[in-house]
Amino acid sequence: MLDTPLRTIALATKGFMPEVEGDALYTAAHLACAAMPGLPIVEVGSYCGRSTVWLGAVARATGTVVYAVDHHGGSEENQAGWEWHDPEIVDTNGRINTLPFFRSTMQRADLTSVVRECVGDSQVIGTAWNEPLAFCFVDGGHARDVARADYAVWARHVAVGGSLAIHDVFEQSADGGQAPFEEIYLPAVQSGDFIEISQCGSLRVLQRIATYLK
Ligand code: SAH
Ligand code: MG
């Protein structure tokens, strides 16, 4: 479990991770990292570092690291005029920049030694990636093409026995956008490589059981 000081920091951080789902993320990541010693965690979509606090605590507890992948320019739905826009994260050039918020969260949480900033486009970073992962948490852009690209580049890096966790999975369109469900969750299950092992709210955790994906 996340200790009280870290929990206070996580809950005070801007972001989109409900507390119960953060706790479920912690449990799932801990299980995967304890089973796969030495293999790291990737988080796709860190924003201001809210979910990263839970994952950073897992990395510290299990002796690994989190690569926190984000270009920090915000998703489509974070831009001005969209539903999830926050004017406080706009910099002096008028652009969204969550990197200073992310850094300050990691510093306050004292997690800078186990959380590596990977600032850039998720598709570019995932394409160049070559290290197997104990745990991959995908919570990046929810535009269809971005979600599809995240699945294509990241799912294959999850080690057999490791887990792929997906946020904002809504089976019914009335409950939320369909991209994480249709472009990540369904293709992962249908690939034959993954089986669902837990769910909490919109968080789905899949374990990799085969290597059809190359
Ligand atoms: N996990 C966070 C929320 C992430 S919001 C929390 O717990 O609060 C989604 C993030 O994905 C945004 O910060 C956005 O900048 C990032 N993102 C969207 N598309 C991206 C892309 N193509 N490459 C890298 N990051 C991207
Ligand atoms: Mg999310």
Question: Is the CB of 58 within 6 Å of ligand 1?
Answer: no
Active site residue 71: no
pLDDT band for position 214 (cuts 50, 70, 90): confident
Rounded CA separation 135/5 (Å): 24
Q: Residue 138's closest CA among 158, 106, 164?
A: 164
CB 187 less than 6 A from any atom of ligand 1: no
The Cα-based distances of 27 to 48, 55, 61, 140, 174 in angstroms read 21, 10, 12, 21, 28
Residue 115 banded pLDDT, cuts 50, 70, 90? very high
Rounded Cα distance, 183 and 188, in Å: 9
- Helices and strands per DSSP (H, E), number in the chain: 8, 7
CB of residue 135 inside a 6 A radius of ligand 1: no
Can you point out the beta strands (E) in 24-171? 41-44, 66-70, 115-119, 133-138, 158-166
Q: What is the pLDDT of residue 166?
A: 98
Q: What letter represents residue 20's amino acid?
A: V
The two three-digit tokens of residue 66, written as one number:
């989190």
As a whole number, the mean pLDDT across the chain is: 97
pTM: predicted TM-score of the whole model, two decimal places: 0.98
Out of 30, 71, 72, 142, the active site residue is 142
For 132-176, how does the pLDDT look when each residue is reduced to its tens digit (9 = 90+)?
Answer: 999 999 999 999 999 999 999 999 999 999 999 999 999 999 999
* Surrounding residues of ion ligand 2, Cβ less than 5 A: 16, 139, 167-168
At residue 83, the pLDDT reads 86
First-last CA distance in the chain: 34
Q: What is the pLDDT of residues 16-31, one digit of tens each?
A: 999 999 999 999 999 9
What pLDDT score was predicted for residue 208? 98
Tell me the CATH number for domain 4-208: 3.40.50.150
pLDDT per position as a tens digit, 172-184? 999 999 999 999 9
pLDDT tens-digit profile of 31-64?
A: 999 999 999 999 999 999 999 999 999 999 999 9
pLDDT band at residue 193 under the 50/70/90 scheme: very high
Nearest to 20 by CA among 1, 44, 48, 47: 1
And the tokens for 167? Answer: 């946020």
